[in-house]
Amino acid sequence: MTVSTQTLAPVLAPYADELVAFRRDLHAHPELGRHEFRTTPRVAERLQRAGLQPELLPGTGVVCDVGRDAGLGRPVVALRADLDALPLPDECGREWCSTVDGVSHASAHDAHTTAVLGAGLALADLDALGRLPGRVRLVFQPAEEVHPGGALDVLAAGALDGVDRAFALHCDPGNDVGTVATRPGAITSASDAVHVRLHGSGGHTSRPHLTEDLVFALAQVVTQVPAVLTRRLDPRAGVAMVWGRIVAGGASNVIPRV
């Protein structure tokens, strides 16, 4: 057991059951990006009960400082979590399964939020004992899963002003419980959105040779554009192109125009 673990274990232990219940509550009540209207006050209220002074970001999201610099010139460290859920049905099959149709915490943001909240509660206790030699900023970011992302809102609100270093984590079922995986350089991906719209004359499926077959063309775009990308970039670049939504036509015997 490391010195840090020896210090934190007794501080975290009293919160264990509460944090498990908190995470399950978030999982049962997921909210999409920029609509975290229940999650935001839940986090802020618990921080207030710990004697802290959380600040609500415009719209949704929370920022809260723990400790003081005390003139020591030590770095200000930020711990960041994401609040929002995904538009996916929940298949967890447990009593804390999502109560919102078609929305779930399928990317572990409920766990991330609870982890940073728990860290904040423990750090507040250490600060009360005079054992926190510096300041930690808790950043609960909204809208991580949408474009443009909520990180831009956090920056615009000045939530990272004065922060020297920032840390975040992401749960990964490929790693054993109790372990942390890291490596030099980039470790998580940043995403962007690409929208492609095809237009053609359309027509009946019995005469594809007399039409501009957009569905066939769309299939080529879906398969060939990512394939071309693999020949234009270094395989070590860590770039992937994945289609998330495809819409074409409304009848099985009609080639659409758009």
The CA–CA distances, whole Å, from 199 to 113, 208, 216, 254 equal: 44, 15, 12, 14
DSSP 47-95: HHHTT---EEPSSS-EEEEEE--TTS-PPEEEEEEE---BSS-----ST
pLDDT at position 2 is 53
pLDDT at position 24 is 99
Same domain, yes or no: 107 and 161: yes
Encoded tokens for 203: 């027509």
Segments forming the whole domain that contains residue 47: 3-89+98-167
Same domain, yes or no: 108 and 31: yes
pLDDT at position 58 is 95
- Model pTM? 0.89
Same domain, yes or no: 117 and 213: no
Q: Are strands 135-141 and 76-82 parallel, antiparallel or unpaired?
A: parallel
Encoded tokens for 135: 């300041």
Same domain, yes or no: 209 and 149: no
Q: CATH number, domain at 84?
A: 3.40.630.10
Residue 58 domain flag: yes
Same domain, yes or no: 122 and 12: yes
Residue 16 domain flag: yes
In what order do the strands lie in the sheet containing 62-67?
A: 55-56, 62-67, 135-141, 76-82, 165-167
- Given a contact cutoff of 8 angstroms between Cβ atoms, the answer to whether 61 and 144 are in contact is no
Same domain, yes or no: 135 and 234: no
The set of residues, in sequence order, having a beta carbon less than 8 Å from that of 93 and lying 6+ positions away, is none
Block residue for tokens 């996916």: 88
Residue 143 domain flag: yes
What is the count of structural domains for the chain?
A: 2
pLDDT at position 1 is 43
Q: Are strands 62-67 and 254-255 parallel, antiparallel or unpaired?
A: unpaired
Residue 195 domain flag: no
Same domain, yes or no: 233 and 137: no
Q: 215: closest CA among 191, 178, 250?
A: 250
Same domain, yes or no: 43 and 144: yes
Encode the chain (258 residues) as per-residue pLDDT tens digits. Answer: 455 777 778 899 999 999 999 999 999 999 999 999 999 999 999 999 999 999 999 999 999 999 986 556 788 999 999 999 999 999 999 999 999 999 999 999 999 999 999 999 999 999 999 989 899 999 999 999 999 999 999 999 999 999 999 999 999 999 998 899 998 888 888 888 899 999 999 999 999 999 999 999 999 999 999 999 999 999 888 888 999 999 999 999 999 999
